[in-house]
Structure 1
Amino acid sequence: MILHAFAQQNQNGISKTGDKITVYTTAENTELRLTETDELEFTEAKQPLENEISVFVDVNKTYQTFIGIGGAITDASAEVFAKLSKSKQQELLKAYYDKSTGIGYSLLRTTIHSSDFSSESYTYVKEGDLSLKTFNINHDRQYRIPLIKQALKTAGGGVCIYVSPWSPPAFMKSNGNMLKGGTLLPEYYQSWANYYSKFIKAYEKEGIPIWGLTIQNEPMAIQRWESCVYTAESERDFLKNFLGPTMEKEGLADKKIIVWDHNRDLIGHRSNVIFSDPEASKYAWGIGFHWYENWSGGNQMFENIRNIYESYPSKKLLFTEGCIEKFDAQKYQFWPNGERYGISMINDFNNGTVGWTDWNILLDQNGGPNHVGNFCFAPVHADINSGELIYTPSYYYIGHFSKFIRPEARRVGTAVSRSVLLSTSFINSDGKIVTVVMNQSGKEITYNLFVASEKTVVVIPAHGIQTLVY
């Protein structure tokens, strides 16, 4: 109702002249890190000129409803967290999950048993236990579950948690190994579907509410770590004949099932195969994706996300994983790493994405632990030797969205007049509008922000990102 009333005010020509705009800025080669840098006012606007740079926001054009931004609590993150002092633990929890002093994460992914970002491979059953009688989550009670509970407490609730497996147990697979791909053997389809149900119920018994699940992390990747291959047809049939019906039978029909959970490159084929089958599609809330398609040397394929948004408007788009690969401690403050987040988030949101999930929230000074040496960056690292936390540019770039755009916000129309700027806008349920502007250039830029018939003039530093709240 607030959104409707606000749109009507602007539509009826009620002026915003004199309204305040608070500007928060992060920029390279400055001390600015999510720093409040300006308080501006709207004034009456005239026709913008071609030699001016402008951002245009149209609150009467509304799009997808936002569910949140967050990161993954993996075994690695939880094990590193446990090695920190109590004061540093509290610092990290507030940095991510506190809405006022931190960046207000509201989305959380965790793994169903081990991933590469675990200290070892493990499952929740004894090898060969088809009936899952030995199922228990005792492994997770040492590190992961306590951290998730503290994150939820710090956030004050309201965090969407979803879960993802990297591989079924070895005995269920064609290669007899949790690592190096392989496929789920047909005779284990039902047992594996039951496994998701048992995991969700076990976590909820611990007081951790599960909002949704993805069927398989990266189902087309044969990795040296936990992995399992599903063709589009095999994922469709597993969802249609086993996982979907099992979730219904077990009283878990409200859990959101997300298909694909891999890169943007093959996402169109996967969506076509699954969503065009009514019996499979009815179980799928939406489709998840990662950003690693540039492994081939090409660019990020944002247009593929737009295609699904337009082709399957009833399905939701969720960014389920991204990180900066190939850890190098010399690049903690490498600015393009942060900009990669900004570019992806703005484009993904402008193409219809409802939520965005980073990978590990925390890793150590080696980019791990990782049991196969696949060391990566996180937005925050802990140097276990010194006990200090290291905040990278990625943390601040994510924060320009997560701190200000809140669950239930609606995206509104935004356009820029120069390609050096990227921008997206949302209106929160309290009526506040949030516009994020990113300057990809090495020069300071002065731009106009136009809303209806009013404007303000803003200066954004070189390689900077700003959030404007008004």
Structure 2
Amino acid sequence: MTLNPNTTYQTVRGFGGMNGAGWIADLTAAQVNTAFGTGTGQVGLSIMRMRIDPDSAKWATQLPTAQLAKAKGVTLFASPWTPPAAWKSNNSLINGGTLLSSRYGDYAGHLLSFANYMSSGNAGLYAISIQNEPDWAPAYESCQWTGAQFVSFLQGQGSRFGSLKVIAPESLGFNKSLSDPMLNDATAVQHVDIIGGHLYGTTPSDYPLARSKGKELWMTEHYTDNTDANNWTAALPVAQELHRSMVSNYSAYVWWYIRRSYGLLTEDGAISKRGLVMSQYAKYVRPGDVRIAATEKPYSDVYVTAYKNSAGKIVVVAVNTGSSQRQLVLTLQAGSATSFAKTRTTATNSNEYAGTYAVSGGKATAYIDPSSVNTFVSQ
């Protein structure tokens, strides 16, 4: 399989998860280290998502972990599940409803006040979302938006966000009909920076219109099921989804809860198999790295992506979903690497060093186990 660092795709912003402070117990300081550290026994996450409570008196709940994560260089962003009830058509925090157009200015101020609060607490946000899952009206905090309403809001309020990046629409299933209108509106498109979406009921797919407008694609929430996060049969498909997200030109991939029975950490703070799968990407493909051309499917059951950083180091992630060991001949430009060090996660291995493969004549012949996720880092 061929690696071509001269053909580049998206810049990667990172891999992350949601901290559920206020809904579930906050992460402990030790769990923050486990989730966001890049050393042995750590996941390597570089993005943290948090909730914007409709009650500003409760914003302090988000601050302690955000401060710890920010101090580690983590990218922070926040999503609102609902505006205050009085600003909505149903006068309720739950069961959908819509934001009254007469309250657009108040709502923009509410979001900006949260951003200012976090910044004053040394936990400044990189980006802020307008609404979580605007195409869903469950019996918990929620608010519905149409594509036209996003356009109207951005036309009137978008300029107020300044250098703070705006994420929209965070659709339940990455529904492009909600984001197409803002991308096709000459004013609104200037005030949205990241097209974010979730993957419930759908699979990752490219969004050429968004990219043609200079917008990054972020997958801002998903979890696959409530199965025990240490179940390898359930964990391996997460690697496939990560792969598909990367080849769909997503710049970020954010799991739902960081710590949960189905999370990246289990309730006791240990790294789950899902977390180990994430770490095969997150620890080695770092913010600012760029995806490069690579033979995506050297076998029918092997999925490969490759990346490079500003120093020229190359990272290759290979997912083997089959039942056979596979040989990978990594072919690259002469002089760009002398060897590749491999780490792997399997049902019985946990992000462990698994040998070094020398480069000779522009090629390194490597092997990957059946049912495994493998990362090769050039030396």
Q: CA separation in 2, counterparts of 1:337 and 1:390?
A: 17
Q: Identify the residue that residue 317 of structure 1 maps to in structure 2.
A: 217
Counterparts of 1:256-275 in structure 2, within 5 Å, are 256-267=165-176, 269-275=177-183
- Using the TM superposition, give the Cα deviation of residue 420 of structure 1 relative to its aligned residue in structure 2, in angstroms: 0.6
Give unpaired runs (5+ residues) of structure 1: 1-54, 83-88, 114-122, 125-135, 248-252, 295-299, 368-376, 383-387
Whether the 8 Å contact between 1:434 and 1:469 is mirrored in structure 2 is yes
Distance 1:389 1:200, change over 3 A: closer
Q: Identify the residue that residue 99 of structure 1 maps to in structure 2.
A: 38
Which secondary structure does the structure 2 equivalent of 1:389 belong to?
A: coil
Tell me, yes or no, if structure 1 residue 446 matches structure 2 residue 327: yes
Letter in 2 for 1:440: T
- Using the TM superposition, give the Cα deviation of residue 145 of structure 1 relative to its aligned residue in structure 2, in angstroms: 1.3
Q: CA separation in 2, counterparts of 1:209 and 1:462?
A: 43
Q: CA separation in 2, counterparts of 1:293 and 1:67?
A: 24
Q: Identify the residue that residue 6 of structure 2 maps to in structure 1.
A: 60
- Using the TM superposition, give the Cα deviation of residue 306 of structure 1 relative to its aligned residue in structure 2, in angstroms: 4.2
- Using the TM superposition, give the Cα deviation of residue 350 of structure 1 relative to its aligned residue in structure 2, in angstroms: 1.5
- CA-to-aligned-CA distance 1:134-193 (integer Å, 9 cap, x gap): xx44x243x43112222233x2x2x22111100111111111211111111122111111
Letter in 2 for 1:257: V
Letter in 2 for 1:380: L
Q: CA separation in 2, counterparts of 1:175 and 1:234?
A: 16
- Using the TM superposition, give the Cα deviation of residue 257 of structure 1 relative to its aligned residue in structure 2, in angstroms: 0.7
Counterparts of 1:121-140 in structure 2, within 5 Å, are 123-124=54-55, 136-137=56-57, 139-140=58-59
- Using the TM superposition, give the Cα deviation of residue 265 of structure 1 relative to its aligned residue in structure 2, in angstroms: 4.9
Q: Identify the residue that residue 201 of structure 2 maps to in structure 1.
A: 293
Whether the 8 Å contact between 1:66 and 1:406 is mirrored in structure 2 is yes
Equivalent position to 2:19, from 48, 59, 73: 73
Q: CA separation in 1, counterparts of 2:62 and 2:164?
A: 21
Equivalent position to 1:207, from 122, 127, 138: 122
- Using the TM superposition, give the Cα deviation of residue 99 of structure 1 relative to its aligned residue in structure 2, in angstroms: 2.3
- Using the TM superposition, give the Cα deviation of residue 76 of structure 1 relative to its aligned residue in structure 2, in angstroms: 5.4
Whether the 8 Å contact between 2:135 and 2:172 is mirrored in structure 1 is no
How many pairs does the alignment contain?
349
Equivalent position to 1:174, from 73, 83, 89: 89
Q: Return the index of the structure with the highest Cα Rg.
A: 1
Whether the 8 Å contact between 1:79 and 1:144 is mirrored in structure 2 is no
Q: Identify the residue that residue 254 of structure 1 maps to in structure 2.
A: 163
- Using the TM superposition, give the Cα deviation of residue 446 of structure 1 relative to its aligned residue in structure 2, in angstroms: 2.2
Larger relative contact order (Cα-Cα within 8 Å, sequence gap ≥ 6): 1
Q: TM-score of the superposition, structure 2-length normalised?
A: 0.86
Letter in 2 for 1:323: Y
Whether the 8 Å contact between 1:161 and 1:209 is mirrored in structure 2 is yes
- Using the TM superposition, give the Cα deviation of residue 270 of structure 1 relative to its aligned residue in structure 2, in angstroms: 2.5
Q: Identify the residue that residue 86 of structure 1 maps to in structure 2.
A: none
Which secondary structure does the structure 2 equivalent of 1:339 belong to?
A: helix
Give unpaired runs (5+ residues) of structure 2: 335-361
Q: Identify the residue that residue 354 of structure 2 maps to in structure 1.
A: none
Which secondary structure does the structure 2 equivalent of 1:425 belong to?
A: strand
Distance 1:274 1:313, change over 3 A: closer
Q: CA separation in 1, counterparts of 2:239 and 2:6?
A: 25
Q: CA separation in 1, counterparts of 2:274 and 2:25?
A: 21
Tell me, yes or no, if structure 1 residue 401 matches structure 2 residue 281: yes
Q: Identify the residue that residue 265 of structure 2 maps to in structure 1.
A: 380
- Using the TM superposition, give the Cα deviation of residue 266 of structure 1 relative to its aligned residue in structure 2, in angstroms: 1.8
Distance 1:190 1:306, change over 3 A: closer
